[in-house]
Structure 1
Amino acid sequence: MDLQRTLLIAGLVVVGYLMVLQWNQDYNQPQPVTQSAQQLPASNAPEAPVAQSASDVPTLPGTNVSTPKAASQAQLITVTTDTLILTIDTRGGDIVRAELPKFTRTKGETTPFVLLENSTNRMFISQSGLTGQDGPDRLGKPVFTAAQAQYTLGDKDELVVDLNLKSENGVDITKRFTFKRDVYQVSVDYIIHNGSDADWRGNFYAQFKRDNTEDPSKETSNASGMNTYLGAAVRTSDKLYEKLPFDEFSDEPFRESIEGGYAAIVQHYFVSAWIPKQDQKNTYQTRVFDGDNIISVVEPTVTVAPDQTATVGGILYLGPKNQDRLSQLAQGLDLTIDYGMLWWFAKPLFMLLSFLHGLIGNWGWSIIALTLIVKAIFFPLSAASYRSMAKMRKLTPKMQALKEKYGDDRQGLSQAMMKLYKDEKANPMGGCLPILVQMPVFIALYWVLLESVELRHAPWILWIQDLSQMDPYFILPLIMGASMFAQQLLSPAPPDPMQAKVMKLMPVIFTVFFLWFPAGLVLYWVTNNLLSITQQWYITRKIEAEG
């Protein structure tokens, strides 16, 4: 009996400790120290951006470049579609603000969620341009001209926004944004017409620049226990999804050239990603410039002969972490929906949860239905565990009598207990293994519920109007604590006084932890506990009746 309890407590402690370590490693991002741009080693590869100029544009070692003549004053233009509201600065054609009209800032508001912005509160923008030998961004961002200040998709299925740039040497450049209905990706293309008498050479680059402010989802949340990852991510030659925390940009800048890939900034529920052409070798790198974190991708050098036209560019995704949409854009991009080391198991769980939602139409009831299915699958293991616990509870008076009989004779007590187990056909380890086997399922479900943007602002019933926020009246956490206490009443009491005190404190400790957890997570634990109580009560009564 002592061994069983000790192993159970040890298992819980180990799992909890590993979860804390994983949180600290993956999600606890300290604020990096502000410093100037980092100089990366030079390279002879013509398509690799390795030198940093006085601007935030990635540059290549090159010769003299021509500077295009542009309008002296830049302007801001607005593009509105069904999924995006973008503000584009004609200086460089950078996207300095991105709103998501289908996602509000908080529950009950009509203000769209702001993903990108350049304000006193936060600096997070998307940039792209042409660098390299003849790229106009080489010596500073050019100013484009736009035909109008506002563009609207309306009832159309596609919207094209052109920014134009003319130079004195005859090279005309059009920066074209193509928007489509019901998608969050934007095609960003540079159409280069070389009207000069010499070859034009340059590189398309795209990047995100972000300061060290907190995740806006965290700022608008009243729930704790959701310290999700905020930082950069790329695909490398070894991994489909590699995290690049901001605090490593200064000390350990990343640089790698791979075929295809993506460059992303990941935050809770949403992701911003640049996806270059996937059939060529692209160079990715991180750096810090004037205290801001930059992750960029540069495509190979393109050469445009005189009187010829070429098109270069990539895809920009600004939106929710949607598995189906992201997996279609680039290999590994869907892994930005970070389910941790159990992602291979969490994905099918989410697919099942989505299927249930399609049938039920409510995410709260879908969580309950998912818990029922998982509990049913593990019913044989749980039943074996509860039978073992019921037998051990039945043997408690006999075990206590043996402890009183043998006193300090530990060897004699151990031999007597082993004989008791053998005579009664009880296994003190029987209740441990089934519980440990189910732990990966519980952890995977935890991350599914935490990472699913579908649960953001999703109502359940009555007072629970947002499953991603904490229970405003703490009713679910209190029910969860009461259910843990009820489970203890059905379980055999530890003979060791210290273990007994620890077990009595567990419901209180967990209740305090869960007070500020998202309601969807607490709902899962409450449902699981209630089902466990029902199953354990039934099996215990049956064992005791057999007498």
Structure 2
Amino acid sequence: MDVQRVILIAALALVSYLMVLQWNEDYGPSHQPEQQVTSSSAYSTDPASAVSELPQASDAAASADIPQTGTAAEGAAQASAASLIKVRTDVLELLIDPRGGDIIQAALPQHQGALNSTQPFVLLEQNANRTYVAQSGLIGPDGPDANVTGRPLYTSAQTEYTLENDTLTVDLGLTTDKGVEVTKRFTFFQGEYRVGMEYLIKNPTEAPFQGVLFGQIKRDGSSDPSQQNSMGMQSYLGAVFSTATNNYQKVDFGDMDDERFNVSSPDGWVAMVQHYFLSAWIPEPGTEYTYQSRKLNGNYIAGFLSPTFTVSPGQSETVSATFYAGPKDVDQLKLIAPDLDLTIDYGWLWWIASPLYMLLKWIHSLVGNWGLAIIGITIIVKAALFHLNAKAFRSMAKMRKFGPEMARLKELYGDDRQKMSQEMMKLYQKEKINPLGGCLPILVQMPIFIALYWVLMESVELRHAPFYGYIQDLSQMDPYFILPILMGITMFIQQMLNPTPPDPMQAKLMKMLPVIFTFFFLWFPAGLVLYWLVNNILSIAQQWVINKQIEAGNAAKD
């Protein structure tokens, strides 16, 4: 290759690299933080405006999926001017609407809204950008939320609460028209994203109080704000139900468009899942609940209903549920409810991905850097497959060594394919060559590669996790494409160590693979490309040593 050709190829590579950088700047994923907008009450102008989104009060077990439709004209005159209630813990910043006692905003101060942003990630919100709230209440014959004139207005001793000890209790109170005292209590815990919610009903009247507890998550069809990868596989966005008949059933927005989900089950939970984060209602175990979904007024609603309960005259009763709003933290999810950790969705290769995640987390506890943890898990996987790879590399090294002999046979018997195949098989048997042996390392590693992809995609710990230098987020692509280019170079070096395929068309295709793989890896998460790069480097070292052994005639016997 002359000097002019080298210069032209180098110039073409540089121009191509600059074009890809510019394309990513113009059309790639945006990392600009979304301007945070404070949530507001949905009932500030009409308390009755959202009653239709509550489940049916009567015959909950049979027709709970039918929305309430009645409203009252006089409800508009009862608009609430009450201030939203602010609650701050070390991991949650919430806004509670006193009209209904719904959680209409949940920010997570431990998670940035965007890389290097000072704003926390906002999971729940109710504003012009997005509707995503957690609603709960009491319906049924005497439930205060069954009033068609609007959601009940609760009072609170304070409008701002801050967690200063291990727990924090926030009480919202009201007295119904019939004289029943209702307290809606939220309990917050230090370091935890779960929120205890319970209704304390005291009935001093002479008539029994009957009610139905409901909890539901309402979300519009807007895109997932935590989904930052523009290419590749996307995380699931939608509802998930866990019941006795199916411990993990996805019901996405398209499913809700087509039909309503309605299942009765003893115990279970309902969640709204997105990339890295989720919200979930977990009712108190020991009772058969009705789990349902529906679409109404452009919003998707997933929730649960309790059976009707009765508070006798002069008695008190408590009904409760747990709400979770936070990251997909496997340790916390396992403690809150059975199978809730399945919302960390590793796909059909979960049986490989789960051990990989545990191993990755253990290595990180030792080295303190997720990039180094990925390198560590690459070395461990490579060591586990060492002997399998060694056999494959020996087979390829022998094919490389006996390449001239194979070329001679092809030239000698080129016109007689049957005879040539027979002679080739004799050579393979004599020298113990497996022509398909080179495929085994790739075939074995592909499930591991795909499983690790999902681990890196679903592990919230890697969100905004830096490596070194310019790589500040291993869950996102390399902004300068250096790792994918290095990965392509290592693939090219590997090909140089492998025997050239006898078929000219196959040989040309193999030469194109490094370019094709480099292009696809440009937009893969940097952590995944790092894994593949280190794996290639280790493979090159192993294959080079084995090639030298074969060439020297000192290859180990199979």
* TM value normalised by structure 1: 0.86
What is the aligned partner in structure 1 of residue 329 from structure 2? 322
- The question of 1:176 aligning with 2:185 is answered yes
Q: 1:506 to 1:55 in 2, by over 3 A?
A: farther
SS where residue 275 of structure 2 aligns? coil
- The question of 1:383 aligning with 2:390 is answered yes
- Deviations 1:56-88, CA, capped at 9 Å, x for gaps: 9xxxxxxxxxx9x99854431111111100011
What is the aligned partner in structure 2 of residue 115 from structure 1? 123
What is the aligned partner in structure 2 of residue 52 from structure 1? 67
Q: Say whether the 8 Å CA contact 1:353–1:370 is kept in structure 2.
A: yes
Q: Say whether the 8 Å CA contact 2:244–2:267 is kept in structure 1.
A: no
Cα distance, 1:43 vs. partner? 10
One of 220, 223, 227 as aligned partner of 1:214? 223
SS where residue 210 of structure 2 aligns? strand
- The question of 1:149 aligning with 2:164 is answered no
Q: Say whether the 8 Å CA contact 1:74–1:144 is kept in structure 2.
A: no
Q: Distance in 1 between matches of 2:486 and 2:441?
A: 25
Q: Distance in 1 between matches of 2:155 and 2:511?
A: 70
Map of 1:110-509 to 2, 5 A cutoff?
110-138=118-146, 139=148, 140-153=150-163, 155-218=164-227, 221=228, 224-509=231-516
Read off the aligned partner of 1:102 and give its amino acid letter.
Q
Read off the aligned partner of 1:383 and give its amino acid letter.
A
SS where residue 426 of structure 1 aligns? coil
Cα distance, 1:410 vs. partner? 2.1
- Deviations 1:32-55, CA, capped at 9 Å, x for gaps: xxxxx9999999674862422127
SS where residue 552 of structure 2 aligns? helix
Q: Distance in 1 between matches of 2:141 and 2:111?
A: 42
Cα distance, 1:322 vs. partner? 0.8
Q: Say whether the 8 Å CA contact 2:188–2:195 is kept in structure 1.
A: yes
SS where residue 407 of structure 1 aligns? coil
What is the aligned partner in structure 1 of residue 6 from structure 2? none
Cα distance, 1:343 vs. partner? 1.2
- Deviations 1:410-433, CA, capped at 9 Å, x for gaps: 222221211221222212233334
Q: Say whether the 8 Å CA contact 2:85–2:95 is kept in structure 1.
A: yes
Q: Distance in 2 between matches of 1:244 and 1:473?
A: 38
Q: 1:399 to 1:238 in 2, by over 3 A?
A: farther
- The question of 1:88 aligning with 2:88 is answered no
Q: Distance in 1 between matches of 2:412 and 2:129?
A: 71
Read off the aligned partner of 2:217 and give its amino acid letter.
F
Q: Say whether the 8 Å CA contact 1:143–1:165 is kept in structure 2.
A: yes
- The question of 1:524 aligning with 2:531 is answered yes
Q: Say whether the 8 Å CA contact 2:219–2:299 is kept in structure 1.
A: yes
Q: 1:233 to 1:516 in 2, by over 3 A?
A: same
What is the aligned partner in structure 2 of residue 11 from structure 1? none
Q: Which has the larger displacement, 434-443 or 272-281?
A: 434-443
SS where residue 364 of structure 1 aligns? helix
* TM value normalised by structure 2: 0.85
Instruction: Report which structure shows greater RCO (CA 8 Å, sep ≥6).
Output: 1
SS where residue 285 of structure 1 aligns? strand
Q: Distance in 2 between matches of 1:364 and 1:383?
A: 27
Cα distance, 1:405 vs. partner? 2.2
SS where residue 294 of structure 2 aligns? strand
Q: Say whether the 8 Å CA contact 2:57–2:139 is kept in structure 1.
A: no
Cα distance, 1:434 vs. partner? 4.6
Question: Identity of paired residues, percent?
Answer: 56
Q: Say whether the 8 Å CA contact 1:87–1:96 is kept in structure 2.
A: yes
Q: Distance in 2 between matches of 1:320 and 1:327?
A: 13
SS where residue 259 of structure 2 aligns? coil
Q: Which has the larger displacement, 139-148 or 286-295?
A: 139-148
One of 75, 79, 92 as aligned partner of 2:87? 79
- Deviations 1:171-225, CA, capped at 9 Å, x for gaps: 111111111110000001111111222211111111111111111112xx36633
- Deviations 1:449-497, CA, capped at 9 Å, x for gaps: 2211111111111111211222121111111111111111111122222
- Deviations 1:348-403, CA, capped at 9 Å, x for gaps: 21111111111111111111011101111111111111111111222222222222
Read off the aligned partner of 1:101 and give its amino acid letter.
P
- Runs of 4 or more, structure 1, over 4 Å off, are 37-48, 69-72
What is the aligned partner in structure 1 of residue 18 from structure 2? none
Q: Say whether the 8 Å CA contact 2:56–2:68 is kept in structure 1.
A: no
Q: Distance in 1 between matches of 2:406 and 2:260?
A: 62
Structure 2 portions without partners, runs of 5+: 1-51
Read off the aligned partner of 2:205 and give its amino acid letter.
S
Q: Say whether the 8 Å CA contact 2:53–2:68 is kept in structure 1.
A: no
Aligned length: 497
SS where residue 176 of structure 1 aligns? strand
